[in-house]
Amino acid sequence: MDKELKEILASHRGKPGTLIMVLQEAQVIYGFLPDMVISEIADSLGMSLGVVYGVATFYPQFRFERQGEYTVRVCQGTACYIKGGRPIFEAVVRELGIGLGETTPDFMFTLERVACFGSCALAPVMVVDQAFYGRMTKAKVKRILDLYRSGKLT
């Protein structure tokens, strides 16, 4: 167990109701929740593995596999779908060579689909981490992802 995780666990030891906070802080350190970390959390908080996994799997914010440096989300809400959200999603799939919920082998990108960003006027929308890209086209998908690959966008 590394020093940061030890510090987190020590700061929450004996405090009831801190499991979600501990899981969040651990995920910040590792980017996801490896099995070893789940086990350490359970031992430290005096909980069963089943309880810790039960809580962690209930909330979609928790990840159990390493994610990409950038998370690419493509809106599939009604306005985006009508204005071409599906072909945009398919263009991202082709460009990255991965499917929904997958991460590129170089751990640069993870792909997700979102029901709505609330940016219907900009439909179709793609978001990379916190950066919104509206009125997307297949050509824009390639240009934007290439800029991230080259390090010109972060």
Set out the domains of the chain in order of their start, with CATH numbers. 3-58 (no CATH), 70-150 (3.40.30.10)
Q: What is the reported pLDDT for 14?
A: 84
Q: What is the reported pLDDT for 39?
A: 97
Q: Are 64 and 33 in contact (CB under 8 A)?
A: yes
Residue 13's CB is within 10 A of a number of other CB atoms, namely 12
Share of the chain above pLDDT 70, in %: 100
Confidence bin at 55 (pLDDT 50/70/90): very high
Q: How far apart are CA 83 and CA 154, in angstroms?
A: 27
Between helices 3-12 and 35-45, what is the axis angle to 10°? 30
Q: What is the reported pLDDT for 1?
A: 75
Q: How far apart are CA 19 and CA 62, in angstroms?
A: 12
Q: What is the reported pLDDT for 37?
A: 97
What is the pTM for the complete model shown?
A: 0.81
pLDDT of 49 above 80: yes
Single out the residue of 17, 14, 15, 41 nearest to residue 27, CA to CA.
41
Single out the residue of 112, 149, 119 nearest to residue 133, CA to CA.
119
